[in-house]
Structure 1
Amino acid sequence: MATLTSTANPPTTRARASRSERLAPAAFLLPAVLVVLFVSIFPLLLSLFLSLSRLRFEAGGLKVQFVGLDNYRKLLFGSEQKVLFGTIATPSLVGWVVLGAVAFLMLAAVYRAIRDARSGRAVVGRALAGMMLIGLTYLVVASLLAPEGRPGTMVVTMLYVIVGITLQYLIGLGLALLCAQQLPGRRFFRVVFLLPMMITPVGVGYLFRMLADTNKGPLEPLWVALGMQDFAWSNNAWGARIAVMIGDIWQWTPFMFIVLLAAIEGQEVEPVEAAIVDGASHWDIFRHITLPAILPVSTTLILIRMIEAFKIIDLPNILTNGGPGTATETMTLYAYRIWRALDIGGSAAIAYLLLFLVTFFATLYVRALRGRVSTVR
């Protein structure tokens, strides 16, 4: 009996030890997982419930009424449709050309998927993405590039994102290439170029609000010399949009600059030296060596900046208050405005529409550049 007991205990002990080793990682990770769920997942689910509800503040407290998709219907097809989409009109010739080019590219992408014998899910996915992009392009050209059109908050947001990120990347890349050269004073300008990023967006808004003031601002002599003392940026739709985009570009170009500078200075020196010995020009070195080397970093950089740019609210709120009318109002500012009007459900619905828009563009961007980045690597 003693022999049986002594031979049975070791396997039991080993089983308990192995079970403890399997449960130990879960025990250590569980608190962190619970914190993540509480901080991120719970607010996401709560805001989804709020977007499907209508909240009313009454004398006895707060009344929550489930209304289903009514908040989304009001935004997409109801009374708030013009604020979100703007006034749709017949596009101009340039608008039709842009729409035709996008439609051709989307049809070509679907054709390539069919030709490469990809799965049916991939073909359907490309077709749906193409239809979505064509619809968004028509919304842009029928409101922004139409003589009688007026862009809504969705188009204004996409305008800020596309124009802002393009100019921020190009200017940041140019400054990074300049500061990567052995020029006198480049350390000083590296610090100067980073100063805008250290200012809060609210401070940038007030700064450009003073600079754009043609009557009392510090640039008043310049506006008088140009004959623009009677011109008000905030009363002109495109003038106000340009002022917001200039402020956004001024603030976020340093972010592009510092990351691209680190990527350029971190590339291998041997290929560049070999190209110089072979007589390659500066453009050839940039095109065939530097640009492929910084392409993976650029892809991630633009993706991060894109996600952040869709949430722009400080500059249009401080600089123009979304005006004139709703000419500079973004989707985030629109959600904030109706939230202040105690339409909590409508504000949450706008936030989820913005989430869908950001996810669509981010996925489209990643899929479009995934093949090129993997080829470079």
Structure 2
Amino acid sequence: MNTFIKSARVLSDGQLPKSGTIYPVLFMISISHLLNDMMQSLIPAVYPLLKEKFGFTFAQIGIITLVFQMTSSILQPFIGRLADRRPKPYSLAIGMCFTLVGLLTLSVASGFVPILVAVGLIGWGSSVFHPESSRVAQCASGGRKGLAQSIFQVGGNAGSAVGPLLAALIIIPFGQSAIGWFALVAVLAVLILVKIGNWYKRQLILATGKSAVSSEAVHGLTRRKIHTALFILAVLVFSKYFYLACMSNYFTFFLIDKFGISVQSSQYCLFAFLAASAVGTVVGGPLGDRFGRKYVIWGSILGAAPFTLMLPYTNLVCTILLAIIIGLIISSAFSAILVYATDLMPGKVGMIAGVFFGLMFGLGGIGSAFFGWLADRTSIEFIFQISTLLPLLGIITGLLPNIESKREVLNK
């Protein structure tokens, strides 16, 4: 264990002993992210089925999401901190086993409480997955952290997009029990994560005895300015994921309510939005590496605002087109936010990843519960009208310091 603790310090800033970008590992961790988030995205995708089968209210749908998102989020900072101090190469595979059990439980759940238990198990699996996998991605980055996070994130976004499509093709026609077939996906993910664990364990051993990389910040900011910047990033994550909570969980209901389309057709429309989000993710990291992450964050969140403001007031075709545009633009922000945050606090990749992934899931859960509660008291159309204002908060990105420029000057 002491060997792993010492080597964790060497690898704490995402650096490997004498190696460049390890693309095979990045692709494997991205595929694992795809499988993990695909299984997670089945939960909101089957909401219409569960609502009809069990007679749930929108508030109950919101509570299911809240339990799922909170179990996904609340443990992540602690697991991330533990990963920084005592890395456990096979924790990823162990965490996926929780998801496996959760899927099997959800496929046979007979009421509200068993469903809460099932989504809670899936959430716990996610809380283990994200912090440690972010460390693996940065360790394999070879210094190209934005690119590595984009490769990692595009897997997650692709999985989130594929989930509703598979739900429409498999679960909606064949019913709740068909969720159990996705346990095979969890088994595949476990096998891939064991392979990643083997690689990660070798890197930790190779790092033992190497000179520890410096974890001192080179941006020259005071602790107060760092905390202020982290608070601004948290507000930006709030604006992005409160909006995405509305889109991801209630877009199908909005389309059904406003345009009268079928449940299956609404799932295809949700897939279009989520697929566009997956595509947009690829762009954010490399652009951030090249031009500065602050500007990518600014353009991603505030740049989506004109399109979100129009979405509730157009016809069906324009609504779908706007959803695709919004997905393309707004999706690039998170990779840039995460790498920017780890640059503010080098040496704490796992903890920072845990905090921001946890914040992402937690705010998404709170947002879903809030919008579900509000929809019951007003209408689905109303919650889309007010959620469109959230990306306007992207304007506060201008208050973030330009740490990339400062770092480049100091490194010359």
- Shorter-chain TM range is under 0.3
Please, what TM-score do these two structures have when normalized by structure 1?
0.27
**Structure with more relative contact order (C-alpha pairs < 8 Å, separation 6 or more):** 2
When Rg is computed on C-alpha atoms for both structures, the one with the higher figure is 1
Please, what TM-score do these two structures have when normalized by structure 2?
0.26
Which structure shows the higher helix fraction? 2
